[in-house]
Chain A
Amino acid sequence: MTGPREQFKPADHPNDHFLMTTVVGSYPKPKWLHRARDLYEEEDRNFDEENFEEAKDDASRLITKEHERCGIDVVCDGEMRRNEMVEYFAHRIDGYEFNGRVKVWGHNYFDKPSVVDEVEYDQEWLISEYEFTSDVADSPVKVPITGPYTLASWSFNEVYDDEAELAYELADLVNEEIEGLVEAGARYIQIDEPALATTPDDHAIVGECLERIADNVPDDVRLGLHVCYGDYSRIYPEILDYPVHEYDLELVNGDFEQLDVFKDDEFTKDFAMGVIDVHDAEVESVEEIKDNIKKGLEVVPPERLTVSPDCGLKLLPRDVAYGKMENMVQAAREIEAELDAGELDVAAVASADD
Chain B
Amino acid sequence: MTRVVATTPGLFPLPDWAKEDLSDLKGHQKDDLISGDESDEIIAAYNRARSEVIDRQQEAGLDRIVEGQLRWDDMLAHPLAVADEVEMRGIVRYYDNNNFYREPVVTDELSTTGDIAAELDSASEQVDAGLQAVLPGPYSLADLATDDHYGDEAAFLDGIAEFLADEADQFPDVETLFLLEPSLVENAPEDGEDERASEAIDTVASAVDADVVAHTYWGALEEKVYAHLMDADVDAIGFDLVSNHDENVYNVQEYGTKDDVALGLVDGQNTLVESPETIRERIDWFDDQTNGDYDTVYATSNTELFYLPVNKAEAKLDALANAAELEEVPQ
Measured CB to CB, the residues of A under 8 A from B are 99-109, 112, 114, 116, 153-154, 156-158, 195, 198-199
Contacts and interface: CB of A to CB of B under 8 A. Distances in A.
Contact of B271 (A101, A153, A158, A195): A158
Nearest to A99: B309
A93 to B, nearest CB: 16
A290 B177 CA distance: 58
Contacts of A154: 98
B100 A104 contact: yes
Contact of A102 (B33, B73, B272, B308): B308
A99 B311 CA distance: 7
A107 B26 contact: yes
B98 A153 contact: yes
Nearest to B309: A100
Contacts of A99: 271, 309, 311-312
B306 A103 contact: yes
A142 to B, nearest CB: 26
A103 B13 contact: yes
Contact of A105 (B13, B91, B311): B91
Interface in B3-35: 13-14, 16, 19, 22-23, 26-30, 32-33
Contact of B23 (A102, A107, A198): A107
A101 B91 CA distance: 20
A239 B302 CA distance: 35
Contact of A100 (B94, B100, B269, B311): B311
A195 B98 CA distance: 9
Given A101-B16, A103-B13, A105-B91, A199 B32 contact: no
Interface of B: 13-14, 16, 19, 22-23, 26-30, 32-33, 73, 91, 93-94, 96, 98-101, 269-272, 306-312
Contact of B32 (A102, A103, A106): A106
Contacts of A114: 271-272
B293 to A, nearest CB: 34
Nearest to A110: B98
B272 A156 contact: yes
Nearest to A155: B271
A227 B270 CA distance: 26
A7 B101 CA distance: 45
Given A102-B306, A103-B13, A198-B93, A109 B19 contact: yes
A158 B307 contact: no
Contacts of B96: 199
B310 A198 contact: no
6 contacts: A99-B309, A102-B307, A106-B30, A107-B26, A107-B32, A156-B269
Nearest to A157: B270
Contacts of B272: 114, 156, 158
Contacts of B101: 105
Given A107-B19, A107-B26, 18 more contacts: A99-B312, A100-B309, A101-B19, A102-B13, A102-B307, A102-B308, A103-B306, A103-B307, A104-B100, A107-B23, A107-B33, A153-B98, A154-B98, A156-B269, A156-B271, A157-B270, A158-B270, A198-B93
A107 B33 CA distance: 8
Nearest to B27: A107
A115 B169 CA distance: 45
A116 B272 CA distance: 8
A165 B310 CA distance: 27
Nearest to A154: B98
A86 B22 CA distance: 25
Nearest to B22: A107
B329 to A, nearest CB: 28
A112 to B, nearest CB: 7
B28 A102 contact: no
A107 B71 CA distance: 11
A201 B17 CA distance: 38
Nearest to B91: A105
Contact of B16 (A100, A105, A106, A157): A100
A157 B271 CA distance: 8
Given A109-B19, A156-B271, A158-B271, A104 B98 contact: yes
Contacts of A106: 28-30, 32-33, 73
B135 to A, nearest CB: 20
Contacts of B270: 156-158
A203 to B, nearest CB: 16
Contacts of B99: 103-105
Nearest to B21: A107
A112 B310 CA distance: 12
B309 A112 contact: yes
Task: Please name the 5 residue pairs, one residue from A and one from B, whose CB atoms are nearest each other, closest first.
Answer: A100-B309, A107-B23, A105-B100, A158-B272, A99-B309
Contacts of B269: 156
A107 B100 CA distance: 11
Nearest to A108: B28
Contacts of A102: 13, 306-309
A147 to B, nearest CB: 15
Q: Of B30, B32, B271, which is in contact with the most chain A CB atoms at under 10 Å from its CB? A: B271
A154 B270 CA distance: 11
Nearest to A107: B23
B306 A101 contact: no
A102 B272 CA distance: 15
B91 to A, nearest CB: 6
B98 A100 contact: no
